[in-house]
Copies of this chain bind each other. A is one copy, B any other.
């Protein structure tokens, strides 16, 4: 088998991570690489870490360039994916790393994005109940946002077991690559090194409705999420601290049992042994998610901390994992499970 894959948006961080993974994927042959303002440039000048692909040249993102591939990964700005996907035809697997097709509720989309809703594609979070089935054979995949991936994988066992109230507080720290390569003053190295800062506070971050959608589905009732993202002085990684009131009768043992049961079958999500807590360093460059839970008796709260690499499991690794499922390749193919540390 040789899956021919194109990457649209190959000059960005998500595109670069897709190429890092695809270059080592035994079933994939890398086809067209496209970009916009960077069309015509050597990849080596834009992504110097991708040595084996250094002499590849970026094309413009056109239907011609992207046609004749088995899989097309879209790492484009929001709002661009629908028109590209339409022209590629239904037999091509289109894996969209953008937000366009993640939400099921058009009203939520419009409230947070201010544009008409493009539709909903099978959601590329295989660990959610029913998700693997929906992905198998699908030719469209909406890759989840990096924060919703972290938070959903951290909290779904608690909601699935009915252990917590549907009122969640999440505070998460992200590495700067989550903001992409945009040339904005607050993303300059001089500004971010040595500094923690919040953004999108007060329920306005666009990943909020996606968390609400995922957790409400698992809980089978409406869940509210108070989400505060913060920018941390590191390139990669998300650490999400998630908490909700424990339901009556819940204690540490029941909590741990629920997490063990829910996560044991998952190849990429690991509940750590008691007493050990996740760090983003431990998942740097890997598709692994590390999770730990605690029960705070005084506050009667469940606290869950999840860590992943926003570019790997949070974006490109999740995308490849879903591609594998969609194409019938073993799910873990080409996906690193050890982090690069220290």
Contact = CB atoms under 8 A, between A and B. Distances in A.
B51 A337 contact: yes
Interface in A221-272: 224-226, 228, 230, 232-237, 239, 241, 243, 270, 272
Contacts of A184: 183
Interface stretch (A94-102, A115-123, A131-139, A277-285): A277-285
A114 interface: no
Interface string A158-183: 00000000010101010111010101
Contacts of A237: 194-196
A173 B234 CA distance: 13
A243 B228 contact: yes
Interface stretch (A77-85, A140-148, A290-298): A290-298
A203 to B, nearest CB: 4
Interface stretch (A1-9, A42-50, A67-75, A319-327): A42-50
A303 interface: yes
A297 B282 CA distance: 36
A193 interface: yes
A232 to B, nearest CB: 5
Contact of A196 (B19, B224, B279): B279
Given A276-B44, A299-B225, A201 B286 contact: no
B193 A226 contact: no
A191 B179 CA distance: 12
B191 A305 contact: no
Nearest to A279: B197
Nearest to A277: B198
A192 B290 CA distance: 17
A23 interface: yes
A248 to B, nearest CB: 16
Interface of A: 13, 16, 19-20, 23-24, 42, 44-45, 47-52, 54, 167, 169, 171, 173, 175-177, 179, 181, 183-185, 187-199, 201-203, 208, 224-226, 228, 230, 232-237, 239, 241, 243, 270, 272-273, 276-286, 288, 290, 292, 294-301, 303, 305, 307, 336-342
